[in-house]
Amino acid sequence: MQGDRTLLQVDALTVAYGGIEAVKGVSFTICEGDRHCLIGANGAGKSSTLAAIAGATPLAAGRLRFAGEDIDKLEAHARVRRGIALVPEGRGLFARLTVAENLRLGAYARNDRHGIEADLDKVFTMLPRIHERLHQTAGTLSGGEQQMLAIARALMSRPRLLLLDEPSMGLAPRIVDTVFEALDSVSTAGLGILLVEQNARLALEFAAQGHVMENGRIVLSGRSPSLLEDTRVRRAYLGGD
């Protein structure tokens, strides 16, 4: 899985807030087209890991390499231009702007007009409900529609790596299924995905590779089918023996 397919290398990543370490020496690698997930209890350091990769939170220590380039010191907007897009917890939409305006803002770092139009068409094909709501303000969308818009907006930056923070949060089970069906549809060849999700079973069924975080550290990693059968994971996160 290594070699020239390597997309993201996280090496001994440490994140601290006011001297308190939220992430403690986390390491993993994501290759092109791979789906990974981080699971664990609240406060385990999952969202802080995503924020550090996206550039929203500075590293206290460690190293980040993306497509062979050190990105530790790059600002968040520069990482977007390199191909990293974050769908934040809570979606982060501009509620008073229309769906179309939110999508255009997703492409703010691009100046290839024809490419942007082509990507809008792709998003509308993959997420037809977004097309139906194009002139509606984002704040009036349902929770599931807002989540799909947040995903679509991230895709408009034409990412190579998509970071998703708790996409099922606050959604009814039926709507969660719809959102993850949408994620399946946008998982194009070569797009790497790193998912943080409180619903461990859902995360492991979506991703091929999982990492279990506890107290800021990765304590277990493996292929998702194996983790789904692991007794420790089942007892702690899946509600079974």
Domain borders along the chain are: 3-238
The span from the CA of 212 to the CA of 231, in Å, is: 13
User: Of 216 and 91, which is predicted with more confidence?
Assistant: 216
% of residues, the chain, pLDDT over 90? 75
What confidence score (pLDDT) does residue 190 get?
Answer: 79
pLDDT tens digits, 41-64:
999 999 999 999 999 999 999 999
User: What average pLDDT does this structure show over 167-183?
Assistant: 86
> Considering the domain 3-238 in this protein, what is its CATH number?
3.40.50.300
